[in-house]
Amino acid sequence: MSLQQIDAKMLSKMFLAGAKHLENKKEWINELNVFPVPDGDTGTNMTMTIMSAAKEVTALGDSFSMEALCKAISGGSLRGARGNSGVILSQIFRGFTKRIKDEKIITVPVMAEAFEKAVETAYKAVMKPKEGTILTVARGIAEKSRELVDDGVDDMNAYLGTVIEHAKYVLSQTPEMLPVLKQAGVVDSGGQGLVEVLTGFYDAYLGKEIDFSISDGQSQSFGAGKSSLEVQAEAEITFGYCTEFIIMLNRPFNIKQEMDFKAYLESIGDSIVCVADEDVVKVHVHTNDPGLAIQKALKYGSLSNMKIDNMRLEHQEKLFKMAEKEQAQPAKTEPPKEFGFIAVSAGEGLSEIFTSLGVDYVIEGGQTMNPSTADIIDAVEKVNAKNIFILPNNKNIILAANQAAELVAEKNLLVIPTKTIPQGITAVINFVPDLSADENEETMLQEIGSVNSGEITYSIRDTVIDDKEIKKDDYMGIGDKGLLAVGQSLLQVAEETVDGLFTEDAELISIYYGADVKPEDAEAFRARIAEKYPDCDVELQNGGQPIYYYIMSVE
C-alpha cells in the first residue's frame, strides 16, 4: 500500500489507536471544565462513546470489508454515545463513514469529502450550534482538508500531518471564540478530545508501536466456562466489595482532610458516601480492595461498625433468582398504556420523588454519569406505553435522548428538554392524562420555562468566572445562566443562590439536599429561607444526590 491510500485494515488500526489515545487522555480532558466543579465528564463521555464503537470493530476479527468496518464504527458509537460531546463525536463518525463505506481504499480527496460529510452531519445534530466547540474544530479540519485537495496535495502522510496541526491551531483559538473559555484559562474540552482521537489515528498510520487491544472483555475467551448469568454478574459490577465503616476521629476533619480522603476513596472505587461529623465519619465505598480503604481510614482514628459484602456473589444469586422467576411466569401480554415516563436522576431520594409522581422508569445518572443512547433505548423497551415522555434533567443528556428518539420506531418518544431536576419534576406534575401527547408536550415545555434552578457544589481549582474570583474548595452557587455566588460558607452561598433565583412573582421555593448534607442542617437552611421569604411556600426534600449539596428551584 502506498502513502496515498488507506484500506479497511489500516483504517481499523487507526480507529482503535484513536480510541486508545483518547482513553489515555480522558482524565486530563475532564479537567478542562469551564466551571471548576467536580463533575467534568467530557473525556469520560467521549471515551465511552468511542470505546463502544471500538468493541464492535475488534469483534470483526481479522477479515472484514470497508462497509462492515463503517457499520461497526457508526453503529457502535451511535448506541454508545454519552453526553453532548459523545453524541457529536458519534455524529462525526456517522457522517465520515457514510462517505467512505462503499470505497475499498481511501485517498486524500475521499478523506477530505468524508471530513466534510462528518461536519455536515454533526452540525445538523445540534439545534443551536455554538462556535468555539468541538464543532468548530471539526469544521476547521474539513476546511483545511478541502484547501489541501484544491492545492493538489495527494500524499496521505503530508495531508494528515497538516490537517492535525491545523486542528490544534483551531483548538488553540477556541478561547477567543468563547469568552468563558478564555476567562477560565482552558480550551474547549470536546475539541481537545477530537484532536486526541486524530493524534491516535496519525500515530497508527505512521506505524508507531501501539497496543490495539480493547479492554472490558473483547477477546473471544471472555467468560469461557461460565454461564451467561455469571458473565453478566461480573460484567455489571466493576468493584466487587461493598465496604462500610465508621471512623472514630482522633481529631475533627478539616475541609482539606475531608476532600483528600474522598479523593482517595474515588481513586480506589465508586458509589462513595463520606459524611463527616465533629468526631465521626460514616464511610461507604465499592472497591476491589477493602483493605486499602481501611488502612487509609486508620490514619484518622479507630474503626467501628465494619461491614464488607461480596457484591458479585450477591448479584449472581439475584440474577439466578430473576431467571427462575422469569421461567416460572409466562410473559405478560398486556396491551400498552397510552402514556409513560422515563426520567434520569442521580440520588435515591430524587429517584423516589420521580417514582412517586408516576414515572415508570428512572435511569440512574446525571452529572459524571451521563446515560448512553443505548441506556435510554433499553429503558424505553421496559416501558409498555405508546407515547413515552423522556426527561433528561441535564443539558448534557438531551442530545443522547434525541438520538434515542430517532432510533426507536415502534413507540412515540417525546423528549422534554429538561436541563435540571426541578424542571423534570415540574414537567411531570403538569402532565394531564386527558390531554393528547402533543398537548401535554406543549404544556410541559411552557411550564419548565418558568422554573429557575440552582445548584451548590465546590470548586476543584482556582479560577475566575463572570469576574468572580474562585479559590479551590470554595462553595459555588450555579444557576441556569451562570455563577450566582461563591464563598467559604455553605449556608451563605446557598442563601445568596436563592436570592439570585428569586423573582417578584415567585410562589414556591423547593430545596433538595444531597448525600453530604445532614438533615438538621438542611432544615435550618429551609427555616432561614422561609423566614426571609414569608410569602413563598418553602419545601425541603432529601434528594440524596452526590456532588451537589443542594439543588434548588424558584417558581
How many residues are present in the chain? 555
pLDDT value, residue 528 = 94
Strand order in the sheet with 508-513: 482-487, 475-479, 452-458, 550-554, 508-513, 537-542
**What pLDDT is stored for residue 230 in this prediction?**
38
Whether the per-residue pLDDT at 457 is higher than 80: the answer is yes
pLDDT at 401 over 90: yes
C-alpha torsion angle, residues 150, 151, 156, 162 (rounded to 10) = -110
Range with the lowest mean pLDDT among 21-35, 71-85, 506-520?
Answer: 21-35
Q: Is the pLDDT of residue 234 over 50?
A: no
Count of alpha carbons within 13 angstroms of residue 10, beta-carbon side: 18
Euclidean distance between CA atoms 318 and 117, whole angstroms: 47
CB 553 within 8 A of CB 454: yes
Instruction: Find, among 529, 459, 514, the residue nearest to 488 by Cα.
Output: 459
Report the mean per-residue pLDDT for the chain. 85
Supply φ then ψ for residue 104, to 5 degrees. -90, -35
* 70-84, 238-252, 436-450, 461-475: range with lowest mean pLDDT: 238-252
Query: Quick one: what percent of the chain has pLDDT higher than 90?
Result: 55
Q: Is the pTM of this model over 0.75?
A: no
Q: What pLDDT band is residue 320 in, cutting at 50, 70 and 90? A: low
Question: Who's near 285: CB < 8 A, 6+ residues apart?
Answer: 243, 265, 268, 269, 270, 271, 272, 273, 274, 293
In this structure, the number of other CB atoms found within 10 A of the CB of residue 72 comes to 22
Phi, psi (5° rounding) for residue 244?
Answer: -135, 140
* SS3 state of residue 484: strand
Candidate from 276-280, 305-309, 312-316, 385-389 with smallest mean pLDDT: 312-316
Could you read off the pLDDT of 54-64 as tens digits, one per residue?
A: 999 999 988 89
Q: How far apart (Å, rounded) are the C-alpha atoms in residues 288 and 285?
A: 10
| Mean pLDDT across 204-226 | 56
Residue 223: pLDDT above 50? no
Q: Cβ atoms within 10 A of the Cβ of 149, count?
A: 18
pLDDT score recorded for residue 232: 41
Q: How far apart are CA 81 and CA 73, in angstroms?
A: 12
CA dihedral 248, 254, 256, 298 (to 10 degrees): -20
Query: Residue 274: pLDDT above 80?
Result: no
What is the pLDDT at residue 168? Answer: 96
Residue 451 has pLDDT above 80, yes or no: yes
Give the mean pLDDT of 347-373: 86
Residue 413's pLDDT is 95
Q: Which residue would you say has higher pLDDT here, 464 or 387? A: 387
Give residue-wise pLDDT tens across range 326-345: 555 544 567 899 999 999 99
| Contact present, 254 and 348 (Cβ < 8 Å) | no
The residue ranking higher by pLDDT, 553 or 325, is: 553
* 379 burial via Cβ count (<10 Å: 0-12, 13-18, 19+): buried
pLDDT confidence of residue 225: 34
Which domains does the chain carry?
6-205 (1.25.40.340), 228-313 (3.30.70), 332-448 (3.40.50.510), 453-554 (3.30.1180)
DSSP tag of 366:
B
User: In the block, which residue shows the cell 469544521?
Assistant: 139
Mean pLDDT of the region 208-221: 56
Please, where are the H alpha helices in 223-310? 228-236, 255-268, 290-298
Under 8 Å between Cβ of 149 and 109: yes
Q: Average pLDDT, stretch 96-113?
A: 95
